[in-house]
Amino acid sequence: MANERKTENIVREHFKMFTDTIDIEEQQSDNPKINKLLKTASKKGTGHGYPEFIISYKTNSDLLIVIECKADTLKHQSQNHDKYAVDGVLLYASYLSKDFDVLAIAASGQNPRELKVSHFLHLKNEKKASEIFDDKLLNVDGYLQGYLKSPEKFRQDYNALLIFTKKLNEKLHSYKILESQRGLLISAILIALENDAFKRSYASHKNAENLSNSLIQTVSDELEQANITDKKLNNLNIQFSFIKTDTSLAKKEQVLKEIIDDIDENVNQFIKTHKYFDVLGQLYIEFLRYANSDKGLGIVLTPPHITELFADLAQVNKNSIAYDNCTGTGGFLISAMKRMIKDAAGDEAKIQQIKSKQLIGVEYQAHIFALAVSNMYIHQDGKTNIINGSCFDEDVIKEVKAKKPTVGFLNPPYKANKKTDTDELEFILNNLECLVDGGTCIAIVPMSSALAQSGKILNLKKELLKKHTLEAVLSMPGELFVNSKANVVCCVMIFSAHRPHPVYKETYFAYCKDDGFVKRKGQGRIDAYGLWKVLDKNENLIGGIKKRWLDSFTNHKQEPGFSINKVVTAEMEWAVESYMKTDYSDIKNIDFEDTILNYITFLHKNRLINKVASDE
């Protein structure tokens, strides 16, 4: 005879070994908020309803685990949402998710061998739950880390970060802190918060001047201890020094303390949870919304999902040495670092080598250089290989070449003045020059660089093919840089270094115009529907638009309406739109009828129908 108590006992025995980190309640709760939310959660809808177990973490009050048990495995999950284990636990999660993130677990079976387990994550204020984890009970730390690092939680936290940065920007604007200095201020705070003594004591400073001095001294000490010395350290100290003299930060009481509080709670926690994400880049984009244009201040930042795409396209691994000659805030290097460290699979010696020796960057602008160094420092290393200077300087080229980079990434400065500014393709040539023989260079540049058939750009295209191989060109979404307020239609070019382009070489071209991102007011372009990538529990890519792009590129697939392989010369347009075959396979009669009806409607609306008839 089925006995649900046996199922409950299996679950109880599993979790009771973790009571040092969790609290377990059975079919009731001492938490008034939980009781209020479950007040009408009975399966009949007539009053209180409780799952078999409610588990809360002692260190994370945002997450609840609720568990519903059934003895019979045949009553694990129904087709019509009846009184089965999955249906019940999802019901409770829907009520609790008004105030909590909820991990809902359904368990059925009377012995460990036959036990069926299903997991669902229902985040706070979301409409529905999504499946997570596999079909076995995990330890509580595994559940907590899986929840914190899940794509669903990242989207939630990222959206919260966007909302916070908007509010923070407005606050800094009200304090008259310059747009170009806001990123430096946040960088300094994040570096100082890495110092335990500063984190414990900053709130106790008696006045704003003492706190600002302490902040700057802590930053300088932290950077010096991280082997940043001499001229480089002096340059960084100069960039951060405005904090000691700014009227709001150094004179007005509580202003700097409140900003530090906000950063610690909203930004520092995000960084600790979601490692190797270019948070400073995102903040920098938001801080420039009051400026006339990002390009006016010298930088257009690459969206994080594209920096990650570059690392995947280049097949970065633990032995790669990555170089960005237009570093900006370091987004490409951080994405490369993330992929390298994952490939290192816990080898701490290798991870340390990756961070200290395998990430190289050059940044010309002093204040952006300070952001890049800060960003790499916050991500635990890599900062000592960021060079402040011109990537075209012979000494810089020599220094970079000596490090033998194998992959190059860049988003070069886009020309504001076509006559005097360095061309984007010149930056690509510079990056390729520094790579080892056969190294991969990936650059994102304006589409005009790919389409040019005359003048200086044509000559640069000829030089590129004379020295290097054009492997692929991907046409990017039209509004890719909308978050940076830059109206640039761009493409991604992929080269193999120091291997002249063969005359009969087929280059891969793809129409990567739809990345699934949509515009949202106050948030810019975001992956609102989770279409970009689908990951498994080990964060391996298993689906989504990104997987399709990578699969097509890796195998050089030819797909009508999306991609084609084509022999090209420098004189030809390097864009899929010029050569792509139209896919007619999905066109139906109704599509033809709709087009005709839309055209006729247009003619009537604009009173052109008689003119068209008379012309015929």
Q: Do the domain assignments include residue 418?
A: no
Burial 79-99 (b: 16+ CB within 10 A, else e): eeeeebbbbbbbbbbbbbbee
For residues 282 and 327, membership in a common domain is answered with: no
Q: What is the pLDDT of residue 294?
A: 43
Burial grade of 349 (CB within 10 A; 0-12, 13-18, 19 or more): exposed
The contacts of residue 321 (CB under 8 Å, 6+ apart) are 357, 358, 359, 360, 403, 404, 405, 406, 407
Alpha helices in 122-177 (DSSP H): 140-148, 151-174
What is the C-alpha to C-alpha distance for residues 266 and 614, in angstroms, rounded to an integer? 66
Q: Do the domain assignments include residue 580?
A: no
CB count in 10 Å sphere of residue 573: 16
Cα atoms in the Cβ-side hemisphere of radius 13 Å centred on 262: 19
Q: Are 329 and 280 in contact (CB under 8 A)?
A: yes
For residues 353 and 320, membership in a common domain is answered with: yes
Q: What is the pLDDT of residue 587?
A: 64
Q: Do the domain assignments include residue 415?
A: no
User: What is the rounded (10 degree) CA torsion for 254, 258, 264, 268?
Assistant: -120
Q: Do the domain assignments include residue 56?
A: yes
Number of domains in the chain: 5
| CATH code for the domain in which residue 400 is found | 3.40.50.150
Q: What is the pLDDT of residue 602?
A: 66
The contacts of residue 282 (CB under 8 Å, 6+ apart) are 161, 162, 165, 304
For residues 559 and 476, membership in a common domain is answered with: yes
For residues 129 and 173, membership in a common domain is answered with: no
| Amino acid occupying residue 14 | H
Backbone φ, ψ for residue 411 (5° rounding): -125, 90
For residues 369 and 330, membership in a common domain is answered with: yes
Q: Are 439 and 497 in contact (CB under 8 A)?
A: yes
Residue 595: give the domain boundaries: 588-616
For residues 165 and 283, membership in a common domain is answered with: yes
Q: What is the pLDDT of residue 1?
A: 56
Task: Among 122, 147, 172, give the residue marking a domain's end.
Answer: 147
Task: Among 292, 322, 349, give the residue marking a domain's end.
Answer: 292
Rounded to 10 deg, the angle between the 366-378 and 331-344 helix axes is: 20
For residues 605 and 497, membership in a common domain is answered with: no
Q: What is the pLDDT of residue 383?
A: 59
| CATH code for the domain in which residue 45 is found | 3.40.1350
Task: Among 113, 147, 181, give the residue marking a domain's end.
Answer: 147
Q: Which residue has the tokens 């938490």?
A: 31
Q: What is the pLDDT of residue 295?
A: 45
For residues 233 and 318, membership in a common domain is answered with: no
Q: Do the domain assignments include residue 198?
A: yes
For residues 571 and 599, membership in a common domain is answered with: no
Q: Do the domain assignments include residue 497?
A: yes
What is the C-alpha to C-alpha distance for residues 613 and 58, in angstroms, rounded to an integer? 77
> Which pair of structure tokens corresponds to residue 43?
């399966």
What is the C-alpha to C-alpha distance for residues 65 and 22, in angstroms, rounded to an integer? 10
Q: What is the pLDDT of residue 281?
A: 75
Q: Which of 351, 304, 354 is CA-nearest to residue 331? A: 304
149: left (phi over 0), alpha (psi -120 to 50) or beta: alpha
For residues 135 and 79, membership in a common domain is answered with: yes
For residues 529 and 601, membership in a common domain is answered with: no
Q: Do the domain assignments include residue 114?
A: yes
For residues 53 and 126, membership in a common domain is answered with: yes
- Segment-wise mean pLDDT, segments of 10 residues, the chain, 616 residues: 85 93 91 89 68 92 92 81 80 93 93 92 90 90 89 85 87 88 90 92 92 94 85 89 92 93 89 76 68 50 92 97 93 92 91 91 90 81 79 97 97 80 95 98 96 94 98 95 78 98 97 93 82 82 94 96 96 94 67 71 67 53
Q: Are 413 and 422 in contact (CB under 8 A)?
A: yes
Q: Do the domain assignments include residue 218?
A: yes
